Amino acid sequence: MSNLRTLGEFIVEKQNDFPAASGELSSLLSSISLAAKIVHREINKAGLVDIAGAAGVENIQGEAQQKLDVLANDTFKSALEARDQVCGIASEEEDEEVSFTNARNQNAKYVVLMDPLDGSSNIDVNVSVGTIFSIYRRISPVGSPTQKEDYLQPGTEQVASGYVIYGSSTMLVYTTGAGVHGFTYDPSIGVFCLSHENMTIPNEGRVYSINEGNYVKFPLGVKKYIKYCQEEDTSTNRPYTSRYIGSLVSDFHRNLLMGGIFLYPSTRTYPSGKLRLLYECNPIAFLMEQAGGTATDGEKRIMEIKPTELHQRVPFFVGSNAMIETLHGFIEQNKHQY
């Protein structure tokens, strides 16, 4: 136990890497960990109380909100507003950005974008879900309400990003641009403890993650890449193994640790893709690049895309460098074909 380092201790150790933040970023990450503990508690009793299932309303994307979507969104929003470091949030569960009106919040430097409960439809069948978050410095003048431009920044401007995975154990994984670090929650003492320091993804993996039920709607390049993954070739350790959970955080977390590729291409139904650039793709891309991997939309780097709307969707491919490079070859050879 003498070598045990908590999330709070680790953040304080590392805050000298960011002297301009003056401890504010540390406090902000602490508020995220507090909200994660509350969501962890609620998820773990979801089958015992009436917080599972649909909430009876739809979000801005026209998707049925789950009760835990609403609970997680409210929990993170309240935890962030309670600190002086956040002037506003944008969430997958909110129609528009939310500018905090308290004077101390309007004097804050940071905005947070989030998917409060990724994969929430899996709650009813006890499958791992997660929270994804992304932190930016505001562009609008300090002391005023936030503006749309504060949230519509490319991923290259992220100060920090991370996710919480609520699974067999609960883990918080984050980056501030100096490596990727993971902390496992110990409910017996109520703290996140460092368990995975300087996480890196292998250059090559043997797992591909995609919803093959939509195969007929995929672009031709993606179809050919899937066939490539399935072909037997001992020189390249194929066939690869197909693993798809249907929760981005869960699929990404496994591939980060083991190596692999996650694919969510455009389809005829969703020609612009389905995953959200601001709440899912940018924060995951920041983590992946810091872990030594690659994240693209099939042609260009995800974090260089200039957002034009809060709920913008993009195709998303993220994973081991060698696997992404091979995928790009198939996409390039079969551009705009289905």
Q: What per-residue confidence (pLDDT) applies to 47?
A: 55
The H-assigned helical ranges of the chain are 7-14, 24-43, 67-81, 103-106, 148-151, 220-230, 248-258, 282-290, 321-333
Q: What per-residue confidence (pLDDT) applies to 43?
A: 86
Q: How far is residue 123's CA from residue 125's CA, in Å, rounded to a whole number?
A: 5
Q: What per-residue confidence (pLDDT) applies to 24?
A: 84
The 10 Å Cβ neighbour count of residue 46 is 20
Q: How far is residue 328's CA from residue 20's CA, in Å, rounded to a whole number?
A: 38
pLDDT, tens digit, 9 for 90 and up, residues 95-111: 999 999 999 999 999 99
Q: What per-residue confidence (pLDDT) applies to 189?
A: 93
Contact (Cβ atoms closer than 8 angstroms) between residue 328 and residue 298: yes
pLDDT, tens digit, 9 for 90 and up, residues 290-319: 999 999 999 999 999 999 999 999 999 999
Q: What per-residue confidence (pLDDT) applies to 55?
A: 47
Q: What per-residue confidence (pLDDT) applies to 53?
A: 47
Contact (Cβ atoms closer than 8 angstroms) between residue 317 and residue 298: yes
Q: What per-residue confidence (pLDDT) applies to 337?
A: 86
List of E strands, the chain: 54-58, 64-66, 86-91, 98-99, 110-118, 129-137, 158-166, 170-175, 180-186, 191-196, 207-209, 241-242, 261-264, 275-276, 294-296, 313-314, 316-319
Q: Tell me which amino acid residue 195 is.
A: S
Q: What per-residue confidence (pLDDT) applies to 60?
A: 59
Shortest CA distance to 155 belongs to which of 282, 309, 281, 294?
282
Q: What per-residue confidence (pLDDT) applies to 173?
A: 98
Q: What per-residue confidence (pLDDT) applies to 18?
A: 62
The 10 Å Cβ neighbour count of residue 271 is 11
Residues of the chain with pLDDT under 50: 1, 48-49, 51-53, 55-56
Q: What is the pTM of this model?
A: 0.93
Q: Which domains does the chain have, with CATH numbers?
A: 7-196 (3.30.540.10), 207-333 (3.40.190.80)
